[in-house]
Amino acid sequence: MSSKQSELKTIFDHVVAFPAIVVYWMLRKLPEKLTRTICRSIAVICFHAGIRRKVIDANLRIAFPEMNAEAKSHVVRDIYSNIGEFLGEWLVLPELGSKLASRVQVENGDVYQKAIDQGKGVLLCSAHLGHWEILAATIADRFEPRLSIIRHALGNARFDRWFTEVHEAMQFGDIIKGRSMLEIFKRLKRKETVGMLVDQSGRGSGIWIPFFNRPTSFHRGPGMILSKLRCPAVTVFCIPGHDGNWII
């Protein structure tokens, strides 16, 4: 990319990102219940517009081939509703501050603490199940070692920086995929914690195993890191509890 093209791309990224960031800050400052209501309404619009519907339908056919059309329709609607709830949680998360601790129950935290005490760094493995950013914010708040999470770079550079800024406000850092392995090793060597969402496709470089009776590619990364550094790994999830609370 030439310098002129790079300059135009930077301008374009800022123009596209600016209104979205403004809306984000406006929603963040609204009363929490109102923000949640708006996010649920956005989810309803996405449901009726069919956004990502083909992906959801395909996954349901794989996981629940026996499910009838009526039951599937209810599940799909609930999926969109949950996405709206999670979006609302994400928007207000930086504003919660000390309130977050009262809304998240950590179970078996001693398992993670024992892993920390080994002094080798910790690989924290989770998935796109529940709310992983509440998980990251809680871990960063309640435990001492620095936490960094591995994520994909966003196509819009301004969005990408903004995402990192939001995460830093919640006291955890980002490691960008594609240039991550050396950085992962550095942080684990510093006895820090690195978080990975390990449920996405490993594509051609992954390990193929049967999953729902289909050959599925899983990432080699966690196994490679553990075999090289011999650091402990902890599996953890953040799932909804009752009355807007969460359980880790």
Per residue in 134-172, pLDDT tens? 999 999 989 988 899 988 888 888 888 888 888 888 889
User: Tokens in use for 131?
Assistant: 């709310």
Least Cα distance to 115 among 39, 194, 182 occurs for 194
As a dihedral over the C-alpha atoms of residue 79, residue 27, residue 240, residue 217, rounded to 10 degrees, the angle is 50
pLDDT (average), residues 84-90: 86
Beta-sheet pairing, 122-126 with 193-197? parallel
**Mean pLDDT across the chain, nearest whole number?**
87
Q: Phi/psi of residue 241, each to 5°?
A: -105, -135
Amino acid 1: pLDDT: 60
User: Tokens in use for 164?
Assistant: 């990192």
Amino acid 90: pLDDT: 84
Confidence of residue 87 (pLDDT cuts 50, 70, 90): confident
Give the bridge partners for 239, in sequence order: 247
Beta strands of the chain (E only): which ranges?
A: 104-105, 122-126, 147-151, 173-176, 193-197, 207-211, 214-218, 233-235, 239-240, 246-247
How far is it, in rounded angstroms, from Cα 243 to Cα 232?
34
pLDDT (average), residues 211-239: 89
Per residue in 17-29, pLDDT tens? 888 888 888 888 8
| Prediction pTM value | 0.84
pLDDT (average), residues 189-210: 87
Is the pLDDT reported for residue 100 higher than 90?
no
